[in-house]
Amino acid sequence: MRPRTPPLTHTGSPWAHMRTGLLVGVVLAALIAVLWSFGGLHRTELRTLDLRYLMRFLVERSGVQEQPVVVVAIDERSLAAVGPWPWSYEVQAQLVRALADSGAAAVGLAYLLPSEAAPGESGVLAEVLMQTGNVVLASAVRGADDLAPPSDLIEAAAAVGSITLQPDRDGVVRRLSSRSGSSAFAPFALAYATGTGRLDPAALQSGPLLINYRPPANEARIQLHRWLPTVSAVDVLEGVVSPLLQGKYAIVGLTASPGADQHNTPLRQQVPGVYVHGFALRSWLLNDHIYTLPGTVTLVAVFVLAMAGSAFTFLLRPWLQTLVVLCMALAAVVTGIVAFIRYSLWLEVTPLLATVIGIYVAGLVYSQSVVDRDTRRIRQLFRRYVAPEVVDRLLQGGTDVEAGRRMEVTILFADVRGFTAFAEQASPEDVVRCLDKYLQVMADSILAHGGMLDKYVGDSVMAVFGAPLPRPDHAQAALAAALDIRRRVAAIGEHEDHPGAALEVGIGIHSGEAVVGSIGSPLRREFTAIGDAVNVASRLEEAAGPGEILISEAAAQAAGIELVGAAVEYRLRGRSDPVKAFSIREDTALAFGRGSSVVRASSEG
């Protein structure tokens, strides 16, 4: 027999499952949209963005070769050579002049200039700024106030930008906006790019822009201070780094601890702020940003995924649901990574993954409800026909038992002999009690031997062995049930006060093929067996005398028992060809009951 392949979809109408999934998908998408709108998933999404930065670093080995920004670090060596921080305006002027003499295209001082100085002391720096013409100064936000350079320096500078960075909720600096919070000045990197003429303010995008922390080519370590060319301020003052600064955009900042401001980035924590400003400036100079899609696109994607995914997965069995949902989640993750690495596009995958998880959970709940419904339906259908253990096997097997199937079965008919005459003489109450007693005895014997109680017809019963689950010993089980019925009916006679105690049964047994399934009209159906085997067994029961079991030659052979004596040909009503059968009476039944493989059959017709 070919092994049964596991079903892929739930039983019942596929459109009903898909409609339910579609409705659940709409509700799920609405919940995800509300959660996303209130920022419930943003922290998780930011973590996935950091992982994409890391994935790009691990995968990408051909980063942008051009590095237009050079960091001039005021490091420990510079402080040791020049003096402790803050340096005087005169030293600041020397540093700016040295950078201009080294061929720097522009200079940005990404730190606050000394606020405590003698009147007119800033004039020496203002004069250098006027002569250079491309120096950007820094301001900062403290509370609701701006800490700005002196007015003469603001007038002499090309621009002033705020070095105050606004981290995300988790404390990581990932983006800069076109305005720096409540400051009157634009962010430092933006002021640098626009003030030096490298960026047209009219072409500036509205809203925040993500800083692209992109490593240079073939960089093997996550060290942001190596990803941007860095020179020491003391080397600039001594004029030994001119080739490195030629045509570059210099940004000067404090890197020495503990005076340097430190910030967390997606790739590394406690990074000096000058490098954050440097990467932001590089992003604007090269137009190399991390781009995002409008929030409406994400919400539309959530609704489409929720509705289509739920409608499809609700149709599937749980094991296939799991496989499909894993593929959906993997597709979302891979798409997000590829879009980030190849196109610098930030696709928000967290709401999609939350939708996939919601689809999976809802699908499992729905599958369980379908299984429970099918379980109740099968139990309701078979609890009156077969033994409880047979129902359990049906539920474990997951077979669609209602569909008509051709099966090899053994049919048993048993009828109470003399019941009609008894009913004429007894009261209706005694007739009902007597009939219930005999039918219960016959039903108990049939169920005890694994048979399916098909139907009651008046004072007779029909049973099927080998259905709804196939079994190789169906004929043996039918014969054993017949002997048990006859024994139990005889035991009723021991109770003299029982009405109808002298009644006996006639039994017919035949094996053959029959179609077993749920048969009938849409309004009323019953689970039964249909075929010639049923007709033959019914006619043998009619031919059997009181206390006699007629078993056809086919059923005896199927049972694997050796019958002594010749089979008798019976001319059955409605059949042109005779049927060979054996009569098993009380004396022969005793030998069979002791487990002998030989049954002595009577040849009496």
Which region among 99-103, 229-233, 254-258, 539-543 has the lowest average model confidence (pLDDT)?
254-258
pLDDT over threshold 90, residue 65: no
| DSSP single-letter state for residue 270 | S
In the prediction, which pLDDT does 379 show? 61
What is the pLDDT averaged over residues 405-428? 88
Joined tokens for residue 428: 């209706």
Residue found under tokens 């250098």: 128
User: CA dist 341 to 168, 213, 275, 379, Å?
Assistant: 22, 12, 22, 56
At CA 577, angle to CA 572 and CA 581, rounded to 5? 60
What is the pLDDT averaged over residues 563-569? 70
Cα Rg, the chain, nearest whole Å: 46
- Paired with 406 in beta bridges are 515
| DSSP single-letter state for residue 18 | H
Q: Which residues contact 439 (CB under 8 A, 6 or more apart)?
A: 456, 459, 461
What is the pLDDT averaged over residues 189-208? 73
- Convert the pLDDT of each residue in 271-281 to its tens digit: 888 999 998 88
Q: Which residues contact 5 (CB under 8 A, 6 or more apart)?
A: none
In the prediction, which pLDDT does 390 show? 54
Distance CA 447, CA 466 (A): 12
Within 10 Å of residue 239's Cβ, how many Cβ atoms?
Answer: 10
CB 347 within 8 A of CB 334: no
As a whole number, the mean pLDDT across the chain is: 81
- Residue 195 burial class via C-beta count within 10 angstroms: exposed 0-12, middle 13-18, buried 19 and up: buried
CA dihedral 44, 48, 50, 56 (to 10 degrees): 180
Within 10 Å of residue 59's Cβ, how many Cβ atoms?
Answer: 11
DSSP-derived 3-state class of residue 474: helix
Which region among 302-311, 329-338, 368-377, 430-439 has the lowest average model confidence (pLDDT)?
368-377
In the prediction, which pLDDT does 459 show? 86
Within 10 Å of residue 360's Cβ, how many Cβ atoms?
Answer: 21
Closest CA relative to residue 209, chosen from 173, 247, 245: 173
Q: Which residues contact 361 (CB under 8 A, 6 or more apart)?
A: none
For 377-388, the DSSP string reads HHHHHHTTTS-H
Which region among 7-21, 126-140, 343-357, 500-514 has the lowest average model confidence (pLDDT)?
7-21
pLDDT over threshold 90, residue 124: no
Percent of the chain with pLDDT strictly greater than 70: 80
Distance CA 347, CA 468 (A): 54
What is the pLDDT averaged over residues 433-457? 88
At CA 26, angle to CA 21 and CA 30, rounded to 5? 145
For 482-526, the DSSP string reads HHHHHHHHHHHTT-TTSTTTT-EEEEEEEEEEEEEEEEE-SS-EE
In the prediction, which pLDDT does 1 show? 38
pLDDT band at 95; cut points 50, 70, 90 = very high
pLDDT over threshold 70, residue 61: no
pLDDT band at 106; cut points 50, 70, 90 = very high
